Chains A and B, each alone.
Chain A
Amino acid sequence: MYASLKWLRELCPFDGSAEDVAVALTARGLTVDSVRTVGGDTQLEIDVPPNRPDCLGHRGLARELSAAFGVSLVAARRSPEGAGSPVSDSISVTIDAKDLCGRFTARIVRDVTIARSPAWLAERLEVCGVRSISNVVDISNLVMLETGNPIHFFDLPTVSAARIEVRRATPGERLITLDGQERVLDENMLLVADGKEGVALAGVMGGATTEIGDSTRDVLVEAAWFLPDSIRRTARKTGLATDASHRFERGVDREGVLAAQAMAVELLIELAGGKADTGMVDVYPGRREADSLTLRTSELERLLGYTPDPDSATAALRALGLAPRSTAGATEVTVPTWRVDLTREADLVEEVARHLGYDAIPTTLVGLPDVDTSSRQPDRGEVVRDRLARRGFHEAFGYAMIEPGEDERFVEADLRAPTALTHPIVETMAVLRRSMLPGLLRAVDLNIRRGARDIRLFETGRVFHPRQDDFPLEPLRVGIVWTGAARPPHWSEPTRPVDWFDMVGLIETIVGSAKRLPGATSGHHPGLSAHWETDGRTVAWAGALHPELQDRFDITVWAAEIDLDRLPEPSDRVASYTPLPNLGAVERDIAVVLPPERSWAEVREALLRVKAPVPVGLEAVDRYEGKPLPPGSAAVTVRIRLQPDKTSLTEETIETYRQELIRTLTAGLALEIRG
């Protein structure tokens, strides 16, 4: 809120400068964000926290300064008695919704003259960021800015049947508010009505039919207390966040209603030439005793870590208007009605602490407990981050929110539809991602547009898989995209673009021994993609983008996603040593022709099933396509490596084994051997 330095000084005649005020308020939890000169005054921009509605008025701020500087506050105004007929002859007030309206007071001021405000009033409002409208309207703002209690003026003759009824709106009931908008109300909204219809949306905005106008002569002054929750709900539902609702929803001073009422009446007499009727109507169903709280000295020490000097603690509470009474080891206080934030002993600890300053609190680590920190598993996300970064990939961060449909082709078919945000910032960030890939593809797009060709990005994060009547699953995933070169480009060799085997190798450094199977998601190229399974669950998907999705890029994009939560627990087993063989290994090559529909995997599996004389290793060391082979066929050279352990192998044993392998390929798999 914006405050006027002059005004604060009138309410609490301290000597300090604007700078002193800014330092004092900030040190007390009311941060002064800026100080600037406006006309002949100084404007302070104060960040008032939501628990301090009392400081949404100059009197509340002055009260803090009074405590800070030890200067007494100027006494509040007393309400003029008035003359003539009693107010209650001209207006009746009933509160129907006593749970939502704790107090409603009314006074009447007659024969006012609507005019421009005097210069001092207009200036004061300007410093506070409020535009001057007319003397009467300005008075209502001035009262709110001084007392923190919003008030409302009605043009008395327009109030039908001389009655005010505070009630819940009926569903569908309509009210045209001061801003000219017609509002459709519901039964949870509190309405100030006259004998006929609603005349104000209570605590939020007045109605158009009873608005103060140039011809207004008699004014009905409302000062009231409304239930904060109710005002907040109404303000949010109608989208009407007003200066009044801002204060009511935080909680105004129910006793301070009278001071606001008094100030309004006095100024209507003084500045608009009005005459007050006698007395007031005060309906107060929410009246209650002031709260008492006890602050134990031991609690001060238990929370602050030191024992403040008892006299200064008491002085702090007194300065804040809490009327402290000392008993053995404790202080009892009465909570002033304007301090709606003080409900517990801990609140009083803060009052003492902030008055004495947080610098008075000692600084220590002594006495802090030790907890068991040994049980943590290594975090898979962290392990994967390091692994990919070491292989030349850059870590990206993407939004969890994506465009509806953007992940459709990268998720498993049985997933539920993504969770939608009720109020997205933009339509391209409207649902929660179920895959890491849409965000990474956006990044690829951006980088290509900025001229990059070699793009290697990964992101580790959570995706959101909705479940019926439950929290979504949030598996930890890593998404990977790769375009451009397969290796760091160098002048000594032609640059080779990333291919299938590069991508698969990368994935398998992470998924380890999971089984590689053909095909990934519908967003991947059906012939250039694979998924990996462990224990019957898919743990990873990888491949080139499907040509339909590839179109948007002018370079082949390889994309993969790994579900880190589905990977087996990282092994913490210490590797054990196998003695090195004394004998040299024996190698034999066999070249086999694979027609297009046959795979290396079946060759390998079949060969490994043949009983070997000693431990054997198999590797494909060459793959040839072209003449004289038929199109699509490839000759794959298999290198068999036999590792004798105790005795050397005889040439005969080796040859017998080799012949058995060849028989397996030719007779068993019906494949042709070359060379």
Chain B
Amino acid sequence: MQSTLERIEREFDQALASAGTDSRAVDGVRVRYLGRKGEITGLMKQLRELPGDQRREAGQAINKLKQSVQARIEESLAAAEGAARDASLAAGKADISMPSLRPWRGSLHPVTQTRRELERVFRDLGFTIEDGPEVEDDFHNFQALNMPPNHPARDAQDTFYLEDGRVLRTHTSPVQIRTMETRKPPIKMVCPGRVYRRDLDATHLPMFHQLEALVVAENVTMAHLKGTLEALWEGFYGAGIKMRLRPGYFPFVEPGCEYDISCRVCEGSGCRVCKQSGWIELGGAGMVHPAVFEAVGIDANRYSGFAFGLGIDRIAMMRHGIDDLRLLIENDVRFLAQFPDGF
């Protein structure tokens, strides 16, 4: 008996090994040994023929073999199942390097992005954002800004006149006038928007974007103008910006000035962008001219104010390294798509 069991075990080992992880072969091995007509099942049937004392001993031995065979077959079946699953997963593998399906990404015009960034800084500084018409009358675009008819400063602003005598606004300053006409000080506002001048060459478009700021209250001084300009450009570009004022003439401010900031490209040492000067001219500024206050009915003895302006397009060009002004108005999708904005 003992030798029979040893033989069966040896043969089982061989059979199971050759079945490997083929689940059908493993199942065949199971049937061969544990099936109704299996070898181990057959041994159990032979037990009855043995004498009583041997029967018990042999029964235990057969049982032990049966359990061991059962366990090993289950093990092999599990291994076979695992192998089959691995094989089927391997067959379903994607080439993960293929291009994905991404939603389209649109873009906001660089001028819009720069305008929004400037507005953000002004909001943080407590300014309101105002709007006004693009077709203006002579009063709001010129006269109220201390530019009476035939004023030589009108020359600088090649105006588009309309057949009804109105104009396309040459600056956003008329929005300041309209705000001062309708609102009592304190006023602390910015007005971004499109403006128009009769000029078209490599450095001028007949339509561009300005932003002007105005503060009117009691005891507003040029020191506040400097403080606000500094806070604006630090808020926009970060700390370390240097700024300077130079006397400059604009009919609607007195004292008037132009303001420059240190060049962002060369940090002030001189480069192509700043024309080797280390400074970038950004715009005009000054204290609101008493004639402007008179035009809008604000008491110039009680209130004072400052105003300054800037060109959004130019700042956008510097910000993104755009070297050709025409790109801003051509609407080439290859250009525009370069400016996705945070979504």
CB <8 Å contact, B150 and A346: no
- Nearest CB of chain A from residue B254's CB, rounded to whole Å: 4
B272 at the interface (CB under 8 A from A): no
Q: Check if B84 is an interface residue, CB within 8 A of chain A.
A: no
We find that the number of chain A residues with CB closer than 8 angstroms to chain B is 92
Q: Return chain A residues, CB-CB under 8 Å to B38.
A: none
Q: Is A110 an interface residue (CB 8 A)?
A: no
Given contacts A229-B150, A364-B227, A492-B101, 13 further A-B contacts (CB under 8 A): A29-B248, A49-B248, A349-B287, A358-B222, A358-B247, A367-B220, A368-B227, A389-B340, A392-B104, A394-B107, A400-B207, A401-B206, A450-B334
Q: Could you jot down 10 A-B contacts, CB within 8 Å?
A: A228-B152, A302-B304, A303-B287, A350-B256, A363-B226, A401-B160, A401-B207, A421-B168, A456-B104, A492-B101
A429 to B196, CA, bound (A): 12
Proximity string of chain B (83-103) to chain A, C-beta cutoff 8 Å, 1 when within and 0 when not: 000000000000000110111
Q: How far is the CA of A372 from the CA of B223 in the complex (A)?
A: 23
Measured CA separation A232–B330 after assembly (Å) = 38
Contact partner, B107, options A27, A389, A397, Cβ 8 Å = A389
Provided the pairs A354-B247, A369-B186 are in contact, do residues A420 and B224 lie with their beta carbons within 8 angstroms?
A: no
Q: How far is the CB of A57 from chain B (nearest CB, A)?
A: 16
Contact A304 B333 (CB under 8 A): no
In-complex Cβ contact of B161 among A391, A423, A461 (8 A): A423
Question: Which residue of B102, B108, B186, B221 contacts A488 across the interface (Cβ within 8 Å)?
Answer: B102
**Contact assessment for B244 and A400 in the assembled complex, using a CB-CB cutoff below 8 Å:** no
Measured in the bound complex, the distance between the Cα atoms of B255 and A349 in whole Å is 7
Q: Does B265 contact A (CB under 8 A)?
A: no
Contact between chains at A50 and B153 (CB < 8 Å): yes
Residues of A within 8 A of B343 (CB): 386, 389-390
Judge if A361 is at the interface, Cβ distance under 8 Å.
yes
CB interface residues, A 418-434, toward B, < 8 Å: 419-425, 429, 432
Question: With A and B bound together, what is the CA distance between A450 and B331 in angstroms?
Answer: 11
> 9 tightest A-B contacts by CB?
A392-B104, A305-B223, A305-B221, A29-B247, A49-B249, A350-B255, A369-B186, A389-B106, A443-B331
Binary interface encoding of chain B residues 256-294 relative to chain A, with 1 for a CB under 8 A from any of its CBs, else 0: 111000000000000000000000000000010111000
How far is the CB of A240 from the nearest CB of chain B, in Å? Answer: 14
| Residues in chain A near residue B256, CB distance under 8 A | 350
Any B CB within 8 A of the CB of A52: yes
Query: Is B66 located at the chain interface by the 8 A CB criterion?
Result: no
List, in ascending order, chain A residues with CB within 8 A of B149's CB.
Answer: 229
Q: Is B25 an interface residue (CB 8 A)?
A: no
Closest to A390 in B: B343
Which residue in chain A gives the minimum CB-CB distance to B207?
A399
Q: Which residues of A sit under 8 angstroms from B98, Cβ to Cβ?
A: 491
Q: A359 CA to B257 CA in the complex, in Å?
A: 12
**Interchain CB contact under 8 A, B186 and A419:** no
Binding-face segment, B26-34, B41-49, B69-77, B131-139: B131-139
Residues of chain B within 8 A (CB-CB) of A28 are 247
Task: Check if A250 is an interface residue, CB within 8 A of chain B.
Answer: yes
Q: Are B137 and A471 in contact (CB under 8 A)?
A: yes
Task: Flag whether B52 is at the interface (Cβ < 8 A).
Answer: no
Asked if B126 is an interface residue, CB under 8 A from chain A, the answer is yes
CB distance from A659 to the nearest CB of B (A): 44
**Nearest-CB residue, chain A, relative to B126:** A370
A587 in contact (CB, < 8 A): no
Instruction: Judge whether A83 is part of the interface by a CB distance below 8 angstroms.
Output: no
Question: Could you tell me which residues of chain A, from 137 to 172, have a CB within 8 Å of some CB in chain B?
Answer: none
> Who on chain A is nearest to B306 by CB?
A303
Q: What is the minimal beta-carbon distance from B158 to any residue of chain A, in angstroms?
A: 9
A419 touches B126 (CB 8 A): no
* A270 at interface, CB cutoff 8 A: no
Known: A371-B187, A391-B106. A425 touches B200 (CB 8 A): yes
Interface contact A349-B329, CB-CB below 8 Å? no
Task: List chain A residues, Cβ under 8 A from B220.
Answer: 367-369
Task: Determine how close the nearest CB of chain B comes to the CB of A243; give it in whole angstroms.
Answer: 14
Instruction: Find out whether the CB atom of A29 lies under 8 angstroms from the CB atom of B246.
Output: yes
Task: Tell me whether A17 is interfacial, beta carbon within 8 Å.
Answer: no
CB <8 Å contact, A461 and B162: no
How distant is A374 from chain B, measured CB to nearest CB, in Å?
A: 10
Contact indicator per residue, chain A 428-449, by CB within 8 Å of chain B (1) or not (0): 0100100000001001001100
Given contacts A358-B246, A363-B227, contact A397 B328 (CB under 8 A): yes
Task: Please tell me if the beta carbons of A346 and B99 are within 8 angstroms of each other in the complex.
Answer: no
> In whole Å, how far is A578's beta carbon from the nearest beta carbon of chain B?
29
Chain A residues with CB under 8 Å of B255's CB are 303-304, 346, 349-350, 353-354
Would you call B336 an interface residue if the criterion is a C-beta within 8 Å of the partner chain's C-beta atoms?
A: yes
Q: Are A344 and B188 in contact (CB under 8 A)?
A: no
Are B215 and A400 touching (Cβ within 8 A)?
Answer: no
Min C-beta distance of A104 to chain B, whole Å: 22
- Interface-centre pick from B221, B245, B251, B334 (highest chain A CB count, 10 A): B221
Question: Would you call A586 an interface residue if the criterion is a C-beta within 8 Å of the partner chain's C-beta atoms?
Answer: no
Q: Does A568 contact B (CB under 8 A)?
A: no
In chain B, positions 325-343 with a C-beta closer than 8 Å to chain A are: 328-334, 336-337, 340-341, 343
A490 and B230 alpha carbons, distance in the complex (Å): 49
Question: Which residues of B lie under 8 Å from residue A389 when comparing CB positions?
Answer: 106-108, 340-341, 343
Closest to B330 in A: A446
Determine the chain A residues whose CB is within 8 A of the CB of B137 once the complex forms: 471
Count of residues in B whose CB is under 8 Å from the partner chain:
90
Encoded as 1 (CB less than 8 Å from any B CB) or 0, chain A from 229 to 251 comes to: 10011000000000000000110
Interchain CB contact under 8 A, A361 and B128: no
Cβ of A492: which chain B residues have Cβ within 8 Å of it? 101
The answer on a CB contact under 8 Å between B162 and A421 is yes
Report B-chain residues with C-beta under 8 Å of the C-beta of A420: 162-163
Q: Are B336 and A396 in contact (CB under 8 A)?
A: yes
Chain A residues near B236 (CB-CB < 8 A): none
B121 to chain A minimum Cβ distance, whole angstroms, is: 13
Bound state CA distance, A349 and B304, in angstroms? Answer: 13
A463 to chain B, nearest CB (A): 10
With beta carbons under 8 angstroms apart, the residue of A371, A394, A432 that contacts B333 is A394
Mark contacts of B153-196 with chain A using CB atoms, 8 A cut-off: 1 yes-contact digit, 0 otherwise.
10110001111101010000000000000000111110000101
A455: CB under 8 A from chain B?
A: yes
Pick the contact of A359 from B99, B206, B244 — CB < 8 Å? B244
Q: Scan A285-327; emit 1 where CB is below 8 A from any B CB, else 0.
A: 0000000000000000111111000000000000000000000
The yes or no answer to B127 lying at the interface (CB within 8 A) is yes
Pick the residue among B133, B200, B247, B341 that contacts A474 (CB under 8 A): B133
> Measured between C-beta atoms, what is the minimum distance from A45 to chain B in Å?
14
CB distance from A478 to the nearest CB of B (A): 13
**Are B128 and A422 closer than 8 Å at their CB atoms?**
no
> Provided the pairs A304-B222, A401-B206 are in contact, do residues A391 and B112 lie with their beta carbons within 8 angstroms?
no
Does B228 reach chain A (CB closer than 8 Å)?
A: yes
- Minimal beta-carbon separation of B281 from chain A (angstroms): 9
Confirm or deny: B65 has a beta carbon within 8 angstroms of a beta carbon on chain A.
no
Bound complex: CA of A490 vs CA of B220, how far in Å? 60
Query: In whole angstroms, what is the CA distance A350 to B250 when docked?
Result: 12
Shortest CB-to-CB span from A504 to chain B, Å, is: 18
Contact of B219 among A367, A390, A392, A429 (CB under 8 A): A367
Whole-angstrom distance between the alpha carbons of A31 and B331 in the complex? 36
Partner of B228, one of A51, A365, A471: A365
* Residue among B104, B196, B255 with max Cβ neighbours from chain A (10 Å): B255
A382 to B109, CA, bound (A): 12
Q: Is A641 an interface residue (CB 8 A)?
A: no
**Is B231 at the interface (CB under 8 A from chain A)?**
yes
Give Cα distance in the complex from A452 to B200, angstroms. Answer: 27
Kindly report which residue of chain A lies nearest to residue B337, judged by CB atoms.
A394
Complex CA–CA separation, A358 to B226 (angstroms): 10
* B236 vs chain A, min Cβ distance (A): 16
Q: How far is the CA of A49 from the CA of B253 in the complex (A)?
A: 13
Q: Which of A27, A344, A440 contacts B290 (CB 8 A)?
A: A344
Query: Would you call A464 an interface residue if the criterion is a C-beta within 8 Å of the partner chain's C-beta atoms?
Result: yes
Task: Verify A305–B103 contact, CB threshold 8 A.
Answer: no
Is B123 positioned at the interface, with any CB of A under 8 Å from its CB?
Answer: yes
Query: Does B219 contact A361, Cβ atoms closer than 8 Å?
Result: no
